[in-house]
Structure 1
């Protein structure tokens, strides 16, 4: 049995994805004047994006905050410290394919997202970057997206 992967989305990201899907459907008629090879490439890319958006929307949990238990999971705004530099960063653990406004987004499937999922504040985690080096981070705070927004949260810098 295949497990369906749910995707956490803000209501705004959900609306933007629905609008993009509608735009892609309308764009199917606007390939006039494009040579046949380019038209096929454009059509294929458009169809791939349509499938990606349809999958995101079909499996979306929209605007439901995860429990406010401090555990890092999709839908939480995380603040981490990069232990080697001392720099801090605040970001949403969510779907990168969906725009979430001015807040940086890291996918739960990214190296950083995978390392942090399930972490509690104060826990140190490590992950590898493409060059093979290991980055160590400490989770400082994890709050539901909705609570972060009501507190007037701001994004950190790396």
Structure 2
């Protein structure tokens, strides 16, 4: 069985490790704490906090600039797991999950590609990838 990695900013990774250390120091954890320890261990086993290569490939950990059909302005967002990325207070950009409809549609595409996806309200939207650069913090 292969486990898919989960990208998160290095600061978020450090905070999860710190939380695990604190919770793990309790000699008699209650059920909720034990469950959180299990969750943290699973997340940390899957964690990937590296800077992605600047090769134009759309993947988690990339800052994406895209034009959605019907928009007059480009949309900029980070592709990553929202609850994990949001642990880093330095992240000042919208975060779209790789498992969201838009995330699923664009993963594996490259700068210049146009793909379509269907929103949860059953609307079809085209998205053109204008830029995909490694996320290095901030905006």
- 1:70 equivalent in structure 2: 56
| Alpha carbons of structure 1 residues 132 and 71: separation in structure 2 relative to 1, 3 Å | same
Give 3-state SS (helix, strand or coil) of 1:97's partner: helix
In structure 2, distance between residues paired with 1:25 and 1:131: 43
Q: What is the CA–CA distance in structure 1 between the aligned matches of 2:130 and 2:93, rounded to whole Å?
A: 17
Q: Could you list the runs of 4 or more consecutive aligned residues of structure 1 that deviate by over 6 angstroms after TM superposition?
A: none
Change in Cα spacing, 1:106 to 1:48, as seen in structure 2 (3 Å) is farther
Q: State whether structure 2 residue 49 is matched by structure 1 residue 59.
A: no
RMSD: 2.6
Selected match of 2:126 from 129, 136, 143: 136
**Cα deviations by residue, 1:36-70 (Å, 9 ceiling, x for unpaired):** xxxx8xx3xx65554333222111122x2222111
Paired with 2:2 and 2:106, the residues of 1 have a C-alpha distance of 22
Give, in whole Å, the separation in 1 of the partners of 2:51 and 2:130: 19
Give the equivalent residue in structure 1 for 2:103.
Answer: 113
1:136 to 1:50, Cα distance in 2 relative to 1, 3 A: farther
Q: What displacement does 1:129 show?
A: 1.4
Q: For this pair of structures, how many residues does the alignment match?
A: 135
Q: Please, what TM-score do these two structures have when normalized by structure 1?
A: 0.71
Partner of 1:125: 115
Measure, in 2, the Cα distance between the counterparts of 1:51 and 1:87. Answer: 43
Deviation at 1:85, TM superposition (A): 2.0
CA deviations over 1:61-80 (Å, ceiling 9, x no partner)? 22x22221111011111111
Q: Aligned with 1:69: secondary structure? A: coil
Displacement of 1:19 in angstroms is: 3.6
What's the TM-score, normalizing by structure 2? 0.79
